[in-house]
Amino acid sequence: MEAKSSPLSARARWILRIALVLAWASGVAGTVTSCAVLAHYRGPIPPRLATSPSVSVSASGSALALPSASASAPASASAVASAPPVPAPSVAPARPMLGITEAEAEVMTDSFERFRKTRLPLTAANFVLSIALVIGAARTLGRRTGGRAWLQQVCLATALYAGADYVASRDERAWLAEKIPAVRVARLDHPGLTREQAEATLRASVRFSFLLKLFGQVALYGGLAIALGRSSVIAELTPSEGSRQSIPPSSTDDES
């Protein structure tokens, strides 16, 4: 005889609801952030980055083709002199957002271009997983058929992605840990500390924030993936026949 799973307590129900809402909100935030980074890669390279060796290497192929093209179609001196000057494309300066100053935004933009080979595929993967999280969490909150299994697989994949992202972006994190403190120390007041000591403190804070983000992602997605496989959670999220009950359930269930 199969043992019947015990129902979730009121506290466990609230923890499950909060975790599902956090997964949905995290998916929305990840989608917005990934779209912003991908939109940056689709745009032109800022002029201040075009002269950087790490950025200009990708454009060397097209630059080598210019002499042959100009040699095959030479222009006369009079035509060149009469041609109107072509204005250079203007790039809007980075604006402070979400508590980030303009200097910090420029550092982030520099890191996008400097570590393009790793950041672009990681951002594309994060975009796909974030959309899947939004869909899975919404279907699970609505107790739709297949929503729990979908979200469980996506949470497991997202936890693995968080670890892979942390390993693959090691050089990027090290570069940001050196650049961001140098920018922040200029606008912060640290009485009793020298500039070197203040930068060392900020550097440790930035590195700790990276580690805290990893632990938070693994704890949320890994814990939710494990919880969604428990029989009591499966029974809680399984819709009853002929109904479309959603989470949270009625207040009578919480009181029991």
Structure tokens of 176? 């940001």
Q: How many residues does the chain have?
A: 256
Buried b (16+ CB within 10 A) or exposed e, 63-91: eeeeeeeeeeeeeeeeeeeeeeeeeeeee
pTM of the model: 0.70
Nearest to 227 by CA among 125, 166, 159: 159
**Token pair 């804070």 in the structure block, residue:** 205
Q: What would the pLDDT profile of 74-106 be if each residue is shown by its tens digit?
A: 444 444 345 455 444 443 444 444 556 787 788
Buried b (16+ CB within 10 A) or exposed e, 170-203: eebbebbbebbbebbbeeeeeeeeeeeebbeebb
Contact present, 24 and 134 (Cβ < 8 Å): yes
Contact present, 89 and 96 (Cβ < 8 Å): no
Nearest to 157 by CA among 180, 184, 128: 128
Say what the pLDDT of residue 5 is. Answer: 64
The H or E element spanning position 212 is helix 195-217
User: In the chain, which stretches have pLDDT less than 70?
Assistant: 1-5, 45-100, 187-191, 240-256
Say what the pLDDT of residue 4 is. Answer: 58
